[in-house]
Structure 1
Amino acid sequence: MGGSPAATRGGAVFGSPAAVRHYVAGGRENGGGIGRLVGYIADAAGTAGTRHRVTDTRGPRWFAPFSLSRLLRACVLVVKDRIVDPDLIHHVHVAGRGSTLRKLILTEVLHRLGCRHVLHLHDYDYAADFDARTPFRQRLTRRMFRRADRVVALGERDRAMLTALLGVEASRIDVAHNCVPDPGRPAVRSGEPPLIVFLGRLSERKGVPELLLALGDPAMTRLPWRAVLAGDGPVEEYRREAAALGLSQRVEMPSWLDADRTRELCARADILVLPSHAEGMAMAVIEGLAHGLAVVTTRVGAHEEVITNGETGLFVPVGDAPALAATLAELVSDPETRRLLSANARAHYLSRFSMATYSRSLERIYASVPVRTRMTARSR
């Protein structure tokens, strides 16, 4: 299967690849929000006929011998691909902590073999993670990002950080907000208590303690509603907290849901809430827009690039349980506001965050990567 015709600019040859290999810790099934995004990309029609392959660089969870064997297997695939398909693009998804360490090794192999590769940053606060590293590790990390053919950021905050802190040339950075498949037109719901959903790891960073306090606030307990908090993490601990607040009959915590069950849940929902303390660009927010839900979130990461307060969603202050309770109570008691936010969210998704829009963005990024056919490392 061929890619788009190549173009020549300034002596370099450019063109969309016939295939792309994605590298993500945990793969599609155990890679959290990043894995889910990569799965959506791989399942989509593709960019200009491009085939997308997914390689796990860690395994379901961190376990040193098993994870190292996965990383070694990924490096062997790099060598094989360089011989069999030298024009393939390697799309490396990286976050902080152990993810950066694994990708330092993987991208060193990619560089030495002269492979075309894109580095895609997913992290809620990569600057803080970088600052915590030793000077030696910082130098290696800067070099890793500078060597990539293209670097993809989730939003303008990360674009600025990549330039100022890591020294990546602004001309080689692309911003690509996340995407989800189109679930179709939302069903009309009536006669049922509003359903509030949370999608993501149950944790302090995601604002779950404040969310439970908000749901247990008198402003909320006097109103009819139900809630589902779907995600992994210390689920039993948060179930006990919900019970202590008298919420056991109203709040369900089914743990992590796969993509199909997530779509089923959102199809029944009215409100998506994500009171995070830190994010890059939360997949849950895009899921909420796609399903035409009234989205309640915080001004973190790239959220302000995606949500217009009062039009396509509502913002609440970070860590403010009373404000969150008041906002949720207003939505629960005002179906007209929910309807307006729902319609605007759905239209916003269709115009900016569909798979078709995202695929076109990837196509432009891949087409901007120079074609290299010789087994030579880059000098940069």
Structure 2
Amino acid sequence: MVEVLREDGLFEREGIAYVATHVDGARLDKLGAALGGLARAGLACLARRPAIVHVHCASNASFLRKSLVLLMARLGGARTVCHLHGGGFRRYALVEAGPLLRRWIRHTLEASSRVIALSPGWAAMVRDCAPRARVEVLPNPVRLAAAGAQGERGRILFLGRIEPAKGVDELLQACARHPALRLVLGGAGDLDWARRRAAELGIAGRVELPGWLDARARDAELARAWLFCLPSHVEGLPMAMLEAMAAGVPVVATRVGGIPEALADGLLGLLVPPRDAEALADAIGRLLADETLHARLACAARAAIERHYSAGVVCARLATLYAHLANEKAKL
């Protein structure tokens, strides 16, 4: 998401300095990135005193790191934006957190000048955690790719972490019911488990596991895809789904997180319950049997992305928010 904002020119137009506090890799690499990032953020907040500090956070360690950045920003007199991502935040904040952590989560959200939620449903969840939080709804931005053809018939693309929580097992089961399908599971994770499960279902020869895909490889796979499936058990507003819609690839996904608000069932895509391999197989079967529906969903989804989720639209809304916060700061 940050790269999409950067590529659209938001950083240059708004004078944004970006500080990372996380890297993928071993624990020592993550610890070093966290400590170094927090040090740089603290120096920026307390010495340079920016007008606005905008953090992107998820759950667990991500939220704790960014809550410290927000605290330092408030001490430095900045207006603050807490931008929530990650499908597990509801469980983290309302179920897993103990009494002290819940109080800290609530304080962090309510002390922020604005909290950005990815969808109206997420905004309601934030208000459950922090009733006095000032919440703005802003979807993730996505690049508008050139709309391609209908892809290779029967080729299904999944992009995400290869694990049961992403619905990969249900997707493998659904593909086993349709001999004409070929499945591409793009992403890091437990690839050995996915290979074993595909073999158990008798579809190992129809499942590709290319591993993590960079932007060029992802775009190439989207160009070949006939259908994009994301049967996750929990989600926020997944970038991979938005990218598929932007590329004109029809989507079948689960009714979780912000997905139903972005992917209107029967109009922009098809929605199924999570953990339901039979319903997933039936939805895929509908598209196999109805080429008109397949084409209509692809066209409508891309148009929706252009209207509401394109990088230019989201960046303009962020710029407006920054201007409001700067005016608020000037009046203090």
Structure 1 residue 193: Cα displacement: 3.2
What residue number does 1:98 align with? 61
**Structure 1's 269 and 51: CA in aligned 2 closer, same or farther, altered over 3 A?**
farther
Distance 2:136 2:33 in 1: 29
How many pairs align? 329
Normalising by structure 2, report the TM-score: 0.91
Contact 1:196/1:225 (<8 A) preserved = yes
Choose the corresponding residue for 1:337, options 270, 290, 293: 293
Structure 1 residue 349: Cα displacement: 1.3
Normalising by structure 1, report the TM-score: 0.80
Contact 1:42/1:52 (<8 A) preserved = no
Map residues 79-118 of structure 1 onto 2, 5 A cutoff. 79-82=42-45, 85-118=48-81
Task: Structure 1: state its 5+ residue gaps.
Answer: 1-36
Contact 1:75/1:109 (<8 A) preserved = no
Q: Secondary structure at the match of 1:249?
A: helix
Query: Is residue 132 of structure 2 the alignment partner of residue 176 of structure 1?
Result: no
Choose the corresponding residue for 2:322, options 366, 371, 375: 366
Distance 2:34 2:77 in 1: 19
Amino acid at match of 1:267: A
Distance 2:11 2:21 in 1: 24
CA deviation digits over 1:306-333, x for unaligned, max 9?
1121111011122111121121122123
Q: Secondary structure at the match of 2:174?
A: helix
Structure 1 residue 59: Cα displacement: 2.4
Choose the corresponding residue for 1:261, options 213, 217, 220: 217
Contact 2:49/2:76 (<8 A) preserved = no
Query: Is residue 313 of structure 2 the alignment partner of residue 357 of structure 1?
Result: yes
Structure 1 residue 242: Cα displacement: 0.8
Structure 1 residue 88: Cα displacement: 4.7
Amino acid at match of 1:154: L
Query: Is residue 160 of structure 2 the alignment partner of residue 196 of structure 1?
Result: no
Structure 1 residue 62: Cα displacement: 5.9
Contact 1:79/1:113 (<8 A) preserved = no
Q: Secondary structure at the match of 1:57?
A: coil
Choose the corresponding residue for 1:208, options 154, 168, 172: 168
Q: Secondary structure at the match of 2:275?
A: coil
What residue number does 2:118 align with? 154
What residue number does 1:166 align with? 130
**Structure 1's 324 and 118: CA in aligned 2 closer, same or farther, altered over 3 A?**
same
Contact 2:52/2:326 (<8 A) preserved = no
Structure 1 residue 273: Cα displacement: 0.6
Higher mean C-alpha deviation, range 327-336 or range 202-211: 327-336
**Structure 1's 50 and 256: CA in aligned 2 closer, same or farther, altered over 3 A?**
same
Q: Secondary structure at the match of 1:254?
A: strand
Q: Secondary structure at the match of 2:10?
A: coil
Map residues 5-84 of structure 1 onto 2, 5 A cutoff. 37-46=1-10, 49-61=13-25, 63=27, 65-82=28-45
Task: Structure 2: state its 5+ residue gaps.
Answer: none
Map residues 242-261 of structure 1 onto 2, 5 A cutoff. 242-261=198-217
Contact 2:22/2:37 (<8 A) preserved = no
Name whichever structure is richer in helix by fraction. Answer: 2
What residue number does 2:282 align with? 326
Structure 1 residue 167: Cα displacement: 2.7
Choose the corresponding residue for 2:255, options 299, 302, 325: 299
Distance 1:225 1:128 in 2: 35
Among the aligned pairs, what percent are the same residue? Answer: 32
Distance 2:277 2:150 in 1: 30
Structure 1 residue 48: Cα displacement: 8.2
Structure 1 residue 133: Cα displacement: 1.7
Distance 2:209 2:50 in 1: 45
Structure 1 residue 164: Cα displacement: 2.5
